[in-house]
Amino acid sequence: MTAIVLGVGASHSTLMNTHWEKVVDTARAEAFRDSLDEVNRRLKELRPDVAIIVGSNHFRGFWLDLIPPFTLGVGEVVASGESGTPKGPQKTDPVFANDLATYLVEAGSEVAISARLQIDHGQSHAIQYLLTDLDIPVVPLVINVFAPPLPTLERCAQLGRRLAEAIEAHADGRTVAVIASGGLSHQLPWPSNWADPQDDDEKFMVDAWLNGRGEWERFDKRRREIILAAQPCLFEDFDRRFLADLEAGRLEDYLRLSTAELEEIAGNGGQELRTWLVMAAALGFAPGSTLCYSPMPEWLTGMGVGVIEPNTAGDTT
253 forms bridges with which residues in the sheet? Answer: none
Report the alpha-carbon distance of residue 304 to residue 295 in Å, rounded.
Answer: 8
Q: Which amino acid is at 229?
A: A
- Pick from 77, 162, 62: nearest CA to 111: 162
Helix (H), strand (E) at residue 124: helix 121-130
274 and 158 Cβ atoms separated by less than 8 Å:
no
Residue 170 is predicted with a pLDDT of 85
Report the alpha-carbon distance of residue 300 to residue 292 in Å, rounded.
Answer: 17
| Upstream peptide bond of 149 is cis (omega within 30 degrees of 0) | yes
pLDDT tens for the chain, 317 residues long, are 679 999 999 999 999 999 898 898 899 999 999 999 999 999 999 999 999 999 999 999 999 999 999 999 999 999 999 999 999 999 999 999 999 999 999 999 989 999 999 999 999 999 999 999 999 999 999 999 999 999 999 999 999 999 999 999 987 889 999 999 999 999 998 888 888 898 999 999 999 999 998 889 899 899 999 988 999 999 999 999 999 999 999 999 999 999 999 999 999 999 999 999 999 999 999 999 999 999 999 999 999 999 999 964 444 33
- Pick from 17, 286, 18, 48: nearest CA to 179: 48
In 3-state terms the chain splits into helix, strand, coil percentages (rounded to 5) of 45, 20, 35
Residue 313 is predicted with a pLDDT of 41
CB count within 10 Å of CB 21 equals 7
CB count within 10 Å of CB 87 equals 12
Q: Where are the beta strands (DSSP E) in 70-222?
A: 70-80, 87-89, 112-119, 138-143, 175-181
Domain ranges of the chain: 3-186+234-312, 189-229
Report the alpha-carbon distance of residue 58 to residue 12 in Å, rounded.
Answer: 12
Report the alpha-carbon distance of residue 185 to residue 226 in Å, rounded.
Answer: 19
182: left (phi over 0), alpha (psi -120 to 50) or beta: left
CATH class of domain segment(s) 3-186+234-312: alpha beta
Name the DSSP class of 139: E
Residue 1 is predicted with a pLDDT of 65
Those residues with Cβ within 8 angstroms of residue 291's Cβ, 6 or more apart along the chain or in another chain: 35, 38, 39, 305, 306, 307
- Pick from 27, 35, 32: nearest CA to 13: 32
Report the alpha-carbon distance of residue 60 to residue 120 in Å, rounded.
Answer: 6
